[in-house]
Structure 1
Amino acid sequence: MSSTPMTKRGTAVAAALLSASLLLTACGGDGDQASAGTGGGKSAKTRSVKAENGTVEIPAAPQRIVTIGNTNLPFIDLGGKPVGVTEVSDSDLAVLPKEQKAAYEAAEVIGSSGGEVDLEKLAGLKPDVILVQLSSDDWGKVGKRLESIAPTVLWGLDTEWKRFAGEIATAGNVAGELNQRKAEFESRVAKIKKTYGKIIDGTEFVDVSRGDWSDPGTFYIADIGCSEIARDDIGLDLPEAAEGKDPLAYESLPFEQLAELSKYDVITYPVDAEGRPTEPFVPVTSTNTWKTLPTVESGRALGVFCPGNNSYGPVLRYLDSLDSALATLAGKR
Structure 2
Amino acid sequence: MSNTLRTRRGTAVAAALMSASLLLTACGSDGDGDGSGGKAAATGGDTSAKTRTVEAENGTVKIPAAPRRIVTIGNTNLPFIDLGGKPVGVTEVSDSELAVLPQEQKAAYEAAEVVGSSGGDVDLEKLAALRPDLILVQFHANDWDKVGKRLESIAPTVLWGLDTEWKAFAGEIATAGAVTDELGRQKAEFEKKVAKIKQAYGKTVDGTKFVDVSRGDWSDPGTFYIADIGCSEIARDDIGLDLPQAAEGKDPLAYESLPFEQIAELSSYDVITYPVDAEGRPTEPFVPVTKTNTWKTLPTVTSGRALGVFCPGNNSYGPVLRYLDSLDSALAKLSTR
TM range (shorter): over 0.9
SS of residue in 1 equivalent to 2:7: helix
Relative distance call for 1:198 and 1:323 in structure 2 (3 A) is same
Pairwise CA distance, 1:260:
0.1
TM-score, scaled to structure 2? 0.95
Letter in 1 for 2:171: G
Mark the runs of 5 or more structure 2 residues left unpaired by the alignment: none
Structure 2 Cα separation of the partners of residues 62 and 124 of structure 1: 17
SS at match of 1:319: helix
Runs of 4+ in 1 over 4 A off after TM superposition: 1-5
175 and 5 in structure 1: CA distance in 2 versus 1, 3 angstrom threshold: closer
**Residue of structure 1 equivalent to 2:291:** 286
The residue matched to 1:112 in structure 2 has which SS? coil
Correspondence 1:209 to 2:214? yes
Question: Of residues 31, 44, 60 in structure 2, which corresponds to 1:38?
Answer: 44
Verify the 8 A CA contact 2:24 2:315 in the aligned structure 1: no
SS at match of 2:149: helix
Call closer, same or farther: CA 1:10–1:241 in 2, change over 3 Å. Answer: same
Q: Distance in 2 between matches of 1:148 and 1:240?
A: 42
Deviations along 1:200-223, one digit per CA (max 9) or x if unpaired, are 001000000000000000000000
Alignment of 1:94-105 (within 5 A): 94-105=99-110
CA distance in 1, matches of 2:230, 2:335: 25
Structure 1 residue 22: Cα displacement: 4.0
Once the two structures are overlaid, the 10-residue window that deviates more, 267-276 or 24-33, is 24-33
Superposed, 1:213-228 pairs within 5 Å as 213-228=218-233
CA contact (8 A) 1:2 1:209 kept: no
* Matched residue SS, 2:261: helix
C-alpha offsets along residues 264-286 of structure 1, whole Å, 9 cap, x if unaligned? 00000000000000000000000
Paired residue type of 1:137: N
Aligned position for 2:10 = 10
> The residue matched to 1:67 in structure 2 has which SS?
strand
Aligned to 1:48: 53
Structure 1: runs of 5+ lacking an equivalent: none
- Secondary structure of 2:273's aligned partner: strand
Which amino acid is 1:37 matched to?
A: T
Q: Give the letter for the 1:119 counterpart.
A: L
TM-aligned CA distance change 1:121 to 1:28, over 3 Å: farther
Distance 2:291 2:105 in 1: 34
CA distance in 2, matches of 1:105, 1:167: 24
Q: Deviations over 1:246-271 (max 9, x none)?
A: 00000000000000000000000000
**What percent of counterpart residues are identical?**
82
- Structure with a larger share of its residues in helix: 1
Aligned length: 330
* Deviation sequence 1:140-184 (CA, Å, 0-9, x none): 111011001000000011100000000000100111101110000
User: Which residues of 2 match residues 167-316 of structure 1 at below 5 A?
Assistant: 167-316=172-321
How far residue 16 of structure 1 moved from its aligned partner, in angstroms, is 2.0
Residue equivalent to 2:141:
136
